[in-house]
Chain A
């Protein structure tokens, strides 16, 4: 909500290690042949969204310069380096560093993605802001409660009317039925898709968003689930489902390569025939 109030506060903070060593190494001409050639630091500046609820003012973009030669390839490596060496007050969520937990979802250079999976681009500047149109708790941490409540509202668990065919054992499912769930079960609930959808920006409380609808389809398409018609009726609502206008920003943003737009189309197709 605060994206319209960003003001650039340029505070140049340099990583000093490489530069200082470079100056000291060249001081004596006689030692020149014994010194190994020092490489120039490859500096890149990151403009990172900062807002502190303890000293509340307007949110700002703060600049940090990082030597890419001393940093890992991913944006998360840069953020951790900034937090360790330059500014410990930088706040962001992270956990697995391998793109499976979905904690580090943020907006990098205008595109939503996971910081641990996004390579640092070779441009001289990058802008990192929190997921768009989400309430900010601090710096890059956003309030995900509405997103999680929408996921909870579609009842993402197996519901059956009849007991399992062999009680105490798993409900059998053919390989082809299990293959129908591919492309939906991998969703890690990072919220990159929902926060990239303009329709979700304008109606976050009433529209469920691509992530929740993807999971709704996952349970609708599950052959073991017997409440298919009830699930379809629950989301057959002008706001919950039909705010989707196939903008397809969701499929573009998904860091796991899933296609929520296709699955929402599947739900709409099923609603027509039911």
Chain B
């Protein structure tokens, strides 16, 4: 077969993306239960969409998304933030 089973080597950028995702899920745990599901679904869908659409070599854009995500995570972590919702606009 040739497929590599076992632990795959993740690049530094991939580790940062996963760490950000983990951070979001951890922040979601500290929020009330209904909001927690909403946060998890929004974050999960955004990360999945980006993982499919964004080219793996487009470092500038990935770094931009990481920076934006870190800022959003800091806002979410603050105890004043109760929840989050997302709105998608069709750019046509």
Interface of A toward B, CB cutoff 8 Å: 1-2, 5, 51, 53-54, 56-59, 135-137, 143, 145
Contacts and interface: CB of A to CB of B under 8 A. Distances in A.
Interface residues of B, number: 9
Contact of B67 (A5, A57, A58, A135): A135
Secondary structure at chain B's binding surface: helix, strand, loop or mixed? helix
Contacts, number: 23
B4 interface: no
B87 interface: no
B63 A135 contact: yes
A15 B29 CA distance: 56
Interface string B66-92: 010001000000000000000000010
Contacts of B71: 145
Contact of B64 (A5, A56, A57, A58): A56
Contacts of B64: 53, 56, 135-137
A48 B73 CA distance: 32
Interface of B: 54, 58, 60-61, 63-64, 67, 71, 91
Contacts of B54: 56
A53 B91 CA distance: 13
Contacts of B91: 54
